[in-house]
Amino acid sequence: MYTDKVMEHFMNPRNVGTIAGADGVGQVGNPVCGDMMTFYIKVKDGKLEDVKFQTFGCGAAIAVSSMVSEMAKGKTLEEAMAITNDLVAEELGGLPKNKLHCSNLGADALHAAISDYLEKNGGAAAGGGSAAEAAAGRAAGHEEGHKCPYCEGEVEEALKIVCRACRLEFVKCGNCGAYSKKGDRTCRECGRPLE
């Protein structure tokens, strides 16, 4: 049912714990399965110097949290925001269909921690974006009113869909209209394949 890599990360999870005085904390949960993940990050010179997690959930949820922490450590904020549920599942050698939501939770919890850090630090974007750039985007007539599902920043729609705060790029689901991270294969809301 589970790959050897999933079992290894479940039996010997990396980076378990908390970070005292964390620069960012992100928590997500799935009320259907009861999984709950909290990620803690320490940022230095625009990179994730340390990443730790606490997870309450099944073996897949623990393995996913461990893998996400490994994938994120040492990365820039922008690189870490680009970690998708599909990449996590791929790194683990695949997950059973009924456990794929765990990979979504892991990436979402990491992104929530990064968004918390950005919010605490004036919303400076991981990719070098600024409040001035966001204002320029508004002045250029980008669509208003859509919120980033990760940091609650305004989403601008022009040639591409980008969050003004965290600079994460999205695609819009043709079925339900929800935003998912560019690169994801399925919609984070309805689960339908993305074009």
Give the catalytic positions in this structure: 33, 102
Domains (range + CATH), the chain: 4-120 (3.90.1010.10), 123-195 (no CATH)
Q: What b/e sequence results for 44-54 when a residue is b if at least 16 CB atoms lie within 10 Å of its CB, and e otherwise?
A: eeeebebbbbe
Residues 6+ apart with CB under 8 A from 179: 146, 148, 149, 155, 161, 170, 171, 172, 173, 188
Dig out the tokens for 46 from the structure. 């625009």
Dig out the tokens for 83 from the structure. 């970690």
Residue 12 in this model has a pLDDT that exceeds 90: yes
Dump pLDDT digits (tens) for 154-174.
666 655 676 655 566 778 877
**Most confidently predicted of 99-103, 107-111, 133-137, 143-147:** 107-111
Dump pLDDT digits (tens) for 30-77.
766 677 899 999 999 989 999 999 998 888 889 999 999 999 999 999
The one-letter amino acid at 112: A
Place of tokens 């993305």: 194
The pTM of the full predicted model, rounded to 2 decimals, is 0.64
Nearest-angstrom CA–CA distance, 42 and 135: 29
